[in-house]
Amino acid sequence: METIVFDGTKVALIVRGKIGVDHEPDLLAQHADVILADGSPVGFFGEGQGTSGSGGSSGFGMDGIVYDHRLFQVHRPYYVDLDYAKKYKTKSTVLIITVTEMEASLFKKFWVRLKINPGGFRLVGDNCSTHASEAFTNAGITGRSIPGLDTPNRLYKQLNDRHKTARSYSGHIGFIKKATEGGFDLVIDQ
C-alpha cells in the first residue's frame, strides 16, 4: 500500500475502471474524477430526470451534480473508501500532476463554481470528462479540450502526454482525512 500526500503542489485525474496505465477501458466502463491540491476528491455526475423530465437512465437530459467527499461516501463509497473499493473490486488509475499555486487555485475555483451551477449532464459533450478537462484547461494545466470524443481515458492520455513528469498509479484507492489540516491523502493498494 502506498500513501500519497497532497500538500498543495499537485492535482490529479482519476480514471475509474482503468485498471492499469496501458489498459483501454470500454467506453461505458470508465469515469473521470479529480483530486484537488488539498487531496479532496471531486467529480461531475448525472442524476435524476433533468429539468425536462425525460432521459434520466439514457444519459441524456439528466441534472448535473458535483460530488465532494461527503457525497461520494453516500452515493459511491467504493470511490473514496479503500475497503469498499477492495470489496467491490473497483480499480482506478490516478495521474498526479505537479502544479503551481496559481494553477491549484484556479483548478479549485472551477469546481467551486461548477458545484454552485452544475447545469445538465449528457453522455456525449457534457459529461464527467468534459468538466474535468475544462478544469485542467481553465487552470492552464492543459492547453485545450480533449481531442476527439471526450472520454476519461482520452483525457488521461492527453494529460500524460503533456506532463512528462506526471506519475501514474493503479489499484484500489481511498482517501484518508488529514488529522490536523483540511483535505485528504490518497492511499493506493494493488
* 17-39 tens-digit pLDDT: 999 999 999 988 999 999 999 99
pLDDT tens-digit map of 68-81: 999 999 999 999 99
Give the global pTM.
0.92
Give me the mean pLDDT over the 58-68 stretch.
81
Query: Which DSSP category does 27 fall into?
Result: G
Strand order in the sheet with 120-121: 2-4, 184-189, 167-177, 92-98, 10-16, 31-35, 41-47, 62-67, 120-121
Which residue ranges make up each domain of the chain? 2-189
- Work out the pLDDT band at 148, boundaries 50, 70, 90: confident
Lowest mean pLDDT among 30-34, 105-109, 143-147: 143-147
| Predicted confidence (pLDDT) at residue 149 exceeds the cutoff of 90 | no
- What the block records as the C-alpha cell of 146 is 480533449
Q: Sign of the CA dihedral 115, 161, 30, 71?
A: negative
The pLDDT of residue 69 is 97
Give me the mean pLDDT over the 45-67 stretch.
69
What does the mean pLDDT of the chain come to? Answer: 91
The pLDDT of residue 49 is 63
The pLDDT of residue 51 is 52
The pLDDT of residue 56 is 43
The pLDDT of residue 4 is 96
The pLDDT of residue 58 is 46
